Structure 1
Amino acid sequence: MSALRRLLLGLAGLALLGAGLLWQINFNDGVDTRSSAPVASDAATRARGAYLARAGNCLACHTARGGPAAAGGRPIATPFGTVYSSNLTPDARAGIGGWNAATFWRALHHGRSADGRLLNPVFPYTHTTGLTRADSDALFSYFLGLPPSATAVPAHELRWPFGTQAALALWRALYFRPGSFQPDPARSEQLNRGAYLVQAVAHCSACHTPRDRLGGADWQSLSGGTVPGTGWYAPSLTARDEGAVGHWPAEQIVQLLATGAAPQGVASGPMAEVVYQGTQHLSGADLQAVAAYLQHLPPQPGRQDTPAPRQRPSAAGERLYGQHCAACHGEDGQGVPGAYPPLSGNRSVTMANTQNLLQIVLFGGFGPATAGRPQPFGMPPFALTLSDAEIAAVLSYIRGAWGNDAGEVAPLDVVRMRHVNHSGLP
């Protein structure tokens, strides 16, 4: 046998071994979907499922703008193309009406559809794998109780090869292992409940963790990351100079999650949607559990980014602030309690990452309208009012005034944010 033939046979053997390993990792999940007991459909089970769907913010992704609830079709921008959310109504053809409790459980726990396909990880099975079987069944019961919709979901628009089953199998081999949430016996029942809600049900690290170039991450990390396809930054929940709340009183954490605003922070961007669709509907006990868990997170050092050397605050930036900002935020950046947040000492202003600051100044926005804060104050957009250089000047002034000591914002940063926001639109 020639050396070349031996080499080719060896490579073929390795390829078969690799394919077998990928099959073992991705498809040998042991879930028998052919027979499954009917899921309970009583009012209590469906109410529990509805609560979990709220806590997990399911309908936010699985409802297209103006479309039927849970009928899918919402475009979700990713670095690899556009993914369209699936139809979760009980329609037999377009939705999950032909599924059973076991296929639904397999989707949540193993990331596989009813027909066995590997699901795209935009669906956060990296987190829902931690749900208990009872909670999975309650969710399934809730979705089966919704009005069926025959809304057809468009095919994903992903660049090759990211939408192929082979690529998904490799990604999962690198970044996903099925597993159930395991309570820590050293923690209180409240802390374990908070961990379960944060890690599995609400899948907080789907946004609050840094991702690599393939979209993978440490799914237990809450150290902050850019929300794919949005241009928003989900701040670290462990770094005090970003979004950590371990030093906040628990009642203020609860207030932020329940109303969208607290003395030390206001929810905006994607977090405003999370509060509106999800956390405002949590029970008082669950809000307290989440607050306790977030307070319990070990603190981490802040970003080590070295800010660019600051010049003296520009007269142009100060003048623009007086013209466009001071009426609401105050001459000294002190804000108006309950209405306009202070800019002096505000972490959203001084964070090394300026994405959120640029988003809110360029495109404006409102906090979530909640039962506890039904008419939130808003921020007007300045994208058409101020030039890139003017926005950079006023933000650089704000980041260096009243005791703030953060790096300057460059006009190029503003240009990039305009582009990111535009390219991420559905």
Structure 2
Amino acid sequence: MKRLLWIPAVLLVIVLAGGWWLSRQPRQLPAQAEDPVIAAKLKDPEVIAQGRYLATVGDCVSCHTLRGGQSFAGGRMLPTPFGSIPAPNITPDAETGIGDWSFQDFWRALHDGMGRNGEPLYPAFSYTSFTKVDRDDAIAIFAYLRSLRPTHQPNAAPTLRFPYNLRSTLTAWRAVYFKAGTYRPDASQSASWNRGAYLVQGLGHCNECHAARGAWGGLEASATLSGGRIPEQGWYAPDLSTQANGGLTGWSRQDIIAVLKTGQASKGVAVGPMADVVAGSTQYLREDDLQAIADYLLSLPARAAQAPTRANFNAQSLISRGNVVYGERCEKCHGKNGAGIAGVYPPLDGNASVVEPTGINATRVVLLGGFSPLTAGNARPYSMPPYAQQLSDGDVAAVVTYIRQAWSNHAAAVQERDVAAYRHTPID
């Protein structure tokens, strides 16, 4: 019997060893002839223009561009709890990019999460969302990428810890967290709602940030757009429901459209990673697509009321201290009532980034400063200075706790130890 107990362990070692060996074997498939019908579409200027728009909707350039580097040439390391994964070069360079790819290669990556050589892709590439993109849109995106100037930039290797560096382990992960399939319209909803759902669930890949992840980095189906920490970036993407107990409770259609188009709304501004998304992607969306996204988000259901959290310490002294810090540092811009000044200084009363469950966002803004995106509709954005050098961890915890519990806000307190942790979280 004892010998039998060793069998699963031995099999696991064999599987991992085999995965390690396979991951080390170089395999490069030769270029394949393109389907003639698709080949014609790849050269159509209208298809290329549509692909450029769709690639912008998907904010592809954000991940596939090294800061200060050539657009789409890859090189940016994407941090995960398991190590870092480099975004590859997707310019049409034959040796280091996708110049030798056929559309079928591209479709397999986007739709099935499989590489050109048959290897499962790491889900830092959001194929769990991109699988919903339909074939015609995928052809357009591929046509646009093929129209770019080729850039020769070799791809770096992932720096994942064992056993996550073995692609064979992705087989089990995919079985639990991934199901391929394009978006299927809901016949009971309007065309605009379905367009919004298609963009949010697919190319926009909003759920990749705005949902909680499990221990293995997978997204739970029950947590769709309900908010979650952005792994390894030190920010919290809020719940996107506008209904009762949602992260955007009270937001109007115009608030949603305004924050996506300009980065500013009456309820708050886009900061942190979302500011980058607005600057590089959503500000360029057509009006009908913005309306469609608003239609979809406004339909998200109410959330269950959160049980009140009781601090394991007396927060009253922290709030009193925070009131003093607020008066000295914040009141001049944000007002005694936390209402701010429309179009200039964002409100703090009811602000989704202030009252999100963790307190990360407000803490990071106090430490690093608040920088709303530069957009066509907000050409001269006002910025909040960083206070990391002026305020101690205790002062930051106090003022953040104060604003999270002042006026109509009823969010949990932030402790000094939390501030210390967030202070040392990498910016990018």
TM-score (norm 2): 0.88
Which digits, 9 at most, give the CA deviation of each residue in 1:195-215, with x for residues without a partner? 000000101000011100100
* Counterpart contact for 2:404–2:412, Cα < 8 Å: yes
Which digits, 9 at most, give the CA deviation of each residue in 1:25-51, with x for residues without a partner? xxxxxxxx9554125211100111101
> Which residue in the other structure is 2:96 paired with?
94
> Which residue in the other structure is 1:243 paired with?
247
The alpha-carbon deviation at position 132 of structure 1 amounts to: 0.6
* Counterpart contact for 1:62–1:71, Cα < 8 Å: yes
Q: Compared with structure 1, are the counterparts of its residues 11 and 85 closer, same or farther at alpha carbon in structure 2 (3 Å cutoff)?
A: closer
> Which residue in the other structure is 1:130 paired with?
132
> Which residue in the other structure is 2:58 paired with?
56
- Give runs of aligned pairs for residues 155-234 of structure 1, distance below 5 A: 155-218=157-220, 221-234=224-237
> Which residue in the other structure is 2:24 paired with?
none
Q: What SS does structure 1 have at the residue aligned with 2:278?
A: helix
Sequence identity (%):
44
Letter of the 1:235 counterpart? P
Using the alignment, how far apart are the partners of 1:69 and 1:274 within structure 2?
Answer: 15
Using the alignment, how far apart are the partners of 1:224 and 1:12 within structure 2?
Answer: 37
Of residues 126, 129, 143 in structure 1, which corresponds to 2:145? 143
* Counterpart contact for 1:305–1:352, Cα < 8 Å: no
Q: Which moved more, 1:231-240 or 1:304-313?
A: 304-313
* Counterpart contact for 1:313–1:400, Cα < 8 Å: no
* Counterpart contact for 2:267–2:350, Cα < 8 Å: no
Which digits, 9 at most, give the CA deviation of each residue in 1:203-244, with x for residues without a partner? 100001110010011257111110111010011113654533
> Which residue in the other structure is 1:41 paired with?
43
Using the alignment, how far apart are the partners of 1:331 and 1:101 within structure 2?
Answer: 58
Letter of the 1:285 counterpart? D
Q: Compared with structure 1, are the counterparts of its residues 287 and 411 closer, same or farther at alpha carbon in structure 2 (3 Å cutoff)?
A: same
Which digits, 9 at most, give the CA deviation of each residue in 1:294-315, with x for residues without a partner? 0011111243351426426654
Which digits, 9 at most, give the CA deviation of each residue in 1:11-34, with x for residues without a partner? 69998xx99xx9xxxxxxxxxx95
Letter of the 1:133 counterpart? R
Q: Compared with structure 1, are the counterparts of its residues 11 and 322 closer, same or farther at alpha carbon in structure 2 (3 Å cutoff)?
A: closer
Q: In the alignment, does 2:345 pair up with 1:345?
A: no
Using the alignment, how far apart are the partners of 1:117 and 1:123 within structure 2?
Answer: 13
The alpha-carbon deviation at position 148 of structure 1 amounts to: 0.5
Q: What SS does structure 2 have at the residue aligned with 1:209?
A: coil
Using the alignment, how far apart are the partners of 1:8 and 1:335 within structure 2?
Answer: 65
> Which residue in the other structure is 2:77 paired with?
75
Letter of the 1:257 counterpart? L
> Which residue in the other structure is 1:26 paired with?
none
Q: What SS does structure 2 have at the residue aligned with 1:82?
A: strand
TM-score (norm 1): 0.89
> Which residue in the other structure is 2:406 paired with?
401
Of residues 378, 387, 406 in structure 1, which corresponds to 2:392? 387
Using the alignment, how far apart are the partners of 1:232 and 1:329 within structure 2?
Answer: 22
Which digits, 9 at most, give the CA deviation of each residue in 1:308-348, with x for residues without a partner? 26426654322221221111111232211111112233333
Q: In the alignment, does 2:264 pair up with 1:261?
A: yes
> Which residue in the other structure is 1:358 paired with?
363
Which digits, 9 at most, give the CA deviation of each residue in 1:250-301, with x for residues without a partner? 2221111111111112111111111111111111101000000000111112
> Which residue in the other structure is 2:26 paired with?
none
* Counterpart contact for 2:42–2:142, Cα < 8 Å: no
Letter of the 1:152 counterpart? P
Which digits, 9 at most, give the CA deviation of each residue in 1:115-144, with x for residues without a partner? 111111000000111111111111110000
Q: Compared with structure 1, are the counterparts of its residues 242 and 358 closer, same or farther at alpha carbon in structure 2 (3 Å cutoff)?
A: farther
Using the alignment, how far apart are the partners of 1:403 and 1:286 within structure 2?
Answer: 33
The alpha-carbon deviation at position 413 of structure 1 amounts to: 1.0
* Counterpart contact for 2:338–2:407, Cα < 8 Å: yes
Q: Compared with structure 1, are the counterparts of its residues 188 and 404 closer, same or farther at alpha carbon in structure 2 (3 Å cutoff)?
A: closer
* Counterpart contact for 2:404–2:410, Cα < 8 Å: yes
* Counterpart contact for 1:317–1:396, Cα < 8 Å: yes
Using the alignment, how far apart are the partners of 2:337 and 2:9 within structure 1?
Answer: 70
* Counterpart contact for 1:83–1:158, Cα < 8 Å: yes
The alpha-carbon deviation at position 376 of structure 1 amounts to: 1.1
Q: What SS does structure 2 have at the residue aligned with 1:399?
A: helix
> Which residue in the other structure is 1:328 paired with?
333
Using the alignment, how far apart are the partners of 1:8 and 1:252 within structure 2?
Answer: 60
> Which residue in the other structure is 1:107 paired with?
109
Q: Compared with structure 1, are the counterparts of its residues 11 and 391 closer, same or farther at alpha carbon in structure 2 (3 Å cutoff)?
A: closer
Using the alignment, how far apart are the partners of 1:228 and 1:381 within structure 2?
Answer: 23
Letter of the 1:101 counterpart? F
Using the alignment, how far apart are the partners of 2:322 and 2:190 within structure 1?
Answer: 51
Q: What SS does structure 2 have at the residue aligned with 1:233?
A: strand
* Counterpart contact for 1:124–1:203, Cα < 8 Å: yes
> Which residue in the other structure is 1:276 paired with?
279
Computed over aligned residues only, the root mean square deviation of the Cα atoms, in angstroms, reads 2.6
Using the alignment, how far apart are the partners of 1:253 and 1:417 within structure 2?
Answer: 28
Q: Compared with structure 1, are the counterparts of its residues 213 and 10 closer, same or farther at alpha carbon in structure 2 (3 Å cutoff)?
A: closer
